[in-house]
Structure 1
Amino acid sequence: MSAADTSGLSALKSVVQSLIIDPGKMPQAYAALTANPIYFARRFAPNHSAVYCDDPDAVGMVQALGLDPAVILALEGAKEVGLNLPVRVVSGRTAPASPP
């Protein structure tokens, strides 16, 4: 997997949520999610704890909030909220946090 390949990489929803709350964007995010029942259902499914980093809906929402998807939907975002995660989830498997 190359450094530019984000297919299959995911970010924990709890980390994404923290990174949206920190800059005060949660009210806008919540309004957008509740305005679209499909987005709401996909983001709040309790048995899915992560979102794909390249999910077009997630990327679009983060951009609409004026935030950087490369930070919000990536391991780098986890570090910003104080999480020390050594790996990323890749299609149900773990992978090195940084490609060689």
Structure 2
Amino acid sequence: WRAPIVGTLVGSVFDTAVFFTVAFSAAFAFAGPNDGFALETAPLMGVLPVETMRWVSWALGDLGVKLIIAVVALIPYRLLAARWSQPALAA
């Protein structure tokens, strides 16, 4: 249970960070054209009072969806793993 959740967490954070940084960050402008809309500032997640670049909000939203899906998928895994790890009762 711990290994899959840690692996999912680390993999999701790494995947999101690499993709959105390379795709939208001004630091990688040499790799291709910048998207002005993605680099403009807006409220974080569209509603919070913190102003940040839009691509940061998109990355946080993407990460949130990945983590929600991981939790939903890992709950049945945990239940099955717990069931299989219990010793069989003798009749």
Question: TM over 0.5: same fold?
Answer: no
Q: Give 1 or 2: higher strand fraction.
A: 1
* TM, length-normalised to structure 2: 0.24
Larger radius of gyration: 2
Structure with the higher helix share, 1 or 2: 2
**Alignment TM-score, normalising by the size of structure 1:** 0.23
**Which one has more relative contact order, counting CA pairs under 8 Å at least 6 apart?**
1
